[in-house]
Amino acid sequence: MKIQGLLIAAIVLTALTGTLYWSNHHKPAETTAQASADLPPKILTLNESDITKLDLKKKSGDELMLAKDNSGNWQITSPKPLRVDQSAMSSILSTLSSLSADRLLEEKASDLKQFGLDQPILQVQITQKDNNTRRLLIGDDTPTGNAVYAKLESDPRVFTIPSYSKTSIDKGANDLRDKRLLPIEADKISRLELIAKKEDFEFGRNKDQWQIVKPKPLRADAARVDELVRTLENAKMDLSPSDDAKAAAAAFASGSPIATVKVTDASATQELQLRKKKDDYYAKSSAVEGVYKVTSVLGQQLDKGLDDFRNKKLFDFGFSDPNKVEMHDASKAYLLIRTGGEWSSNGKKMDGSTVTAFLDKLRDLSASNFVDTGFTSPTIDVTVTSNDGQRVEKILLAKSGNKYIAKRENEAALYEIDSSSVNELQKTAGELKPAAESNKQSK
């Protein structure tokens, strides 16, 4: 009897298992259909790179036409030719190429007026490289205000799309135009001329190294020149509604000249003129028509003289450790040689902390001013070899009143140095000591 009961239970278990398996692998058709219905309907599915033209026409009558040029860049072609901000254009294309609806309202709408689609707020004609076109119509806001009605001209269906999708598409010329005053790429600039503060000076770049080449060869502060280049690269016109083109032109005409800058890359030389009227700055560029108000950041960056861009540091070895340092100070002489990570002098291993303090003072030696005269007989000279022997820098220091005048060997420029800086250098040089002495003192 027990065996018969177990047999019946096994048969029932097998039947239940089979039913469960069939149920999991054969879902009801209405469930699948419901899941599909819950997905947002697609309005447009296009290959973004295939789009070659866009025509945005507003109910007000304003129309903006854009086209991709032979190099693959977008340009505004109407109402007048203008360069386009490619990143802003990419945002529109991304939205249009994969446009999803919030929901499908009607499969076959008979009255478009109730949706504002009989006279759309915005019409977008999309042309692809095979010359096929699609026209998207965008109508009124929905009662909730967080969506708008939309449809394709060739499609009887009416959808709602999120308001943010409309905002992404509904752009004007000022939204999409390239607002840069100088369409340049910082890393491609080879020469830069700045006429400011009644000075005319020029920078040249060899690979990544900036040098002052005019009025004469001088060492440039690379960080400051790079900052100037970035400021010029980011200089943009003010296209806010309150900006009056005629007022800007008048302010520029009567303003005080601040600077003229000329930027040269492989293709051309572009020029920017900057003037100031009261507290506002106005710019005129050879690369774009018109006069525009600009930020004070640009004005302050260009309102500088030659000395602002000169390298005030006496040494160029920077934060890398030199290979060799030799210093003569009257009757005193110091010689340091680095092998691997250790310093030695006359065959003796040196205390690392005292060497570091000395090197820091060498790195810190900077001009407080630039002068043309005052260098006499040097009393101190320092030679630093770095970059695995490829860079050798020799500095000569001569006492001049209560200051020092420094000169880099084989260079004409003279640097005025505060006595305190030289005194600290002499002090740390005198404190250099072998590692053995340091160990004895610590005991």
* 3-class SS shares of the chain: helix, strand, coil, % to 5: 30, 40, 30
Helices H / strands E in the chain, number of each: 11, 28
Quick one: pLDDT band at residue 43, thresholds 50, 70, 90?
very high
Residue for token pair 């004409």: 412
Tell me the mean pLDDT in the region 163-188.
95
What pLDDT is stored for residue 239 in this prediction?
87
User: Helix (H, G, I), strand (E, B), or coil: what is residue 49?
Assistant: helix
Q: Are strands 191-196 and 199-206 parallel, antiparallel or unpaired?
A: antiparallel
Quick one: pLDDT band at residue 4, thresholds 50, 70, 90?
low
Q: Are strands 332-339 and 342-345 parallel, antiparallel or unpaired?
A: antiparallel
Tell me the mean pLDDT in the region 32-52.
75
Tell me the mean pLDDT in the region 27-38.
40
Non-local (6+) Cβ contacts of 292 within 8 A are: 181, 237, 238, 239, 243, 248, 282, 283, 284
Residues 207-261: pLDDT tens digits? 789 999 999 999 999 999 999 999 999 999 988 877 788 999 999 999 999 999 9
Instruction: Tell me how far apart the alpha carbons of residues 61 and 64 are, in angstroms, rounded to a whole number.
Output: 10
Q: How far apart are the first and last CA of the chain?
A: 97
**pLDDT higher than threshold 60 for residue 21:** no
Q: Supply the pTM of this predicted model.
A: 0.79
Angle between helices 352-364 and 419-430 (to 10 degrees): 160
Beta partners for 122?
Answer: 58, 138
What pLDDT is stored for residue 361 in this prediction?
97
Where are the CATH 2.60.40 domain residues in the chain? 42-176
DSSP letters of 76-95? Answer: EEESS-EEB-HHHHHHHHHH
Percent of the chain surpassing pLDDT 70: 90
Beta partners for 193?
Answer: 202, 262
CB 225 within 8 A of CB 203: yes
Instruction: Tell me how far apart the alpha carbons of residues 359 and 223 are, in angstroms, rounded to a whole number.
Output: 22
What pLDDT is stored for residue 385 in this prediction?
97
- Per-residue tokens: 108: 């076959």
CB contact burial 184-202 (16+ within 10 A = b; e otherwise)? beeeebeebbbbbbeeebb
- Per-residue tokens: 47: 């290959």
Integer CA distances (angstroms), 209 to 36, 80, 191, 204, 365, in order: 61, 40, 11, 8, 21
Instruction: Tell me how far apart the alpha carbons of residues 238 and 279 are, in angstroms, rounded to a whole number.
Output: 15
CB 225 within 8 A of CB 211: no
- Per-residue tokens: 224: 């400051």
What pLDDT is stored for residue 59 in this prediction?
95
Instruction: Tell me how far apart the alpha carbons of residues 366 and 31 are, in angstroms, rounded to a whole number.
Output: 78
**pLDDT higher than threshold 70 for residue 31:** no
- DSSP H stretches of helix in 155-210: 163-169, 173-176
Residues 304-356: pLDDT tens digits? 999 999 999 999 999 889 999 999 999 999 999 999 989 999 999 999 999 99
User: Helix (H, G, I), strand (E, B), or coil: what is residue 235?
Assistant: coil
**pLDDT higher than threshold 60 for residue 35:** no
Q: What is the residue-averaged pLDDT of the chain?
A: 90
Instruction: Count the neighbouring beta carbons within 10 Å of the beta carbon of residue 169.
Output: 21
Q: Which of 105, 102, 98, 103 is nearest to 169 (CA)?
A: 98
Residue for token pair 């630093």: 384
Non-local (6+) Cβ contacts of 417 within 8 A are: 314, 365, 366, 367, 368, 397, 403, 404, 405, 406
**pLDDT higher than threshold 70 for residue 33:** no
Tell me the mean pLDDT in the region 399-414.
96
Residues 98-136: pLDDT tens digits? 999 999 999 999 999 999 999 999 999 999 999 999 999
User: Helix (H, G, I), strand (E, B), or coil: what is residue 383?
Assistant: strand
Q: Which of 427, 407, 79 is nearest to 66 (CA)?
A: 79
CB 309 within 8 A of CB 224: yes
What pLDDT is stored for residue 436 in this prediction?
79
Classify residue 309 by its DSSP letter: G
**pLDDT higher than threshold 90 for residue 14:** no
What pLDDT is stored for residue 235 in this prediction?
96
CATH number among 2.60.120, 2.60.40, 1.20.1070, 2.30.30, domain 42-176? 2.60.40
User: Helix (H, G, I), strand (E, B), or coil: what is residue 15?
Assistant: helix
Quick one: pLDDT band at residue 19, thresholds 50, 70, 90?
very low
Question: Cα angle at 316 between 314 and 322, to 5 degrees?
Answer: 110
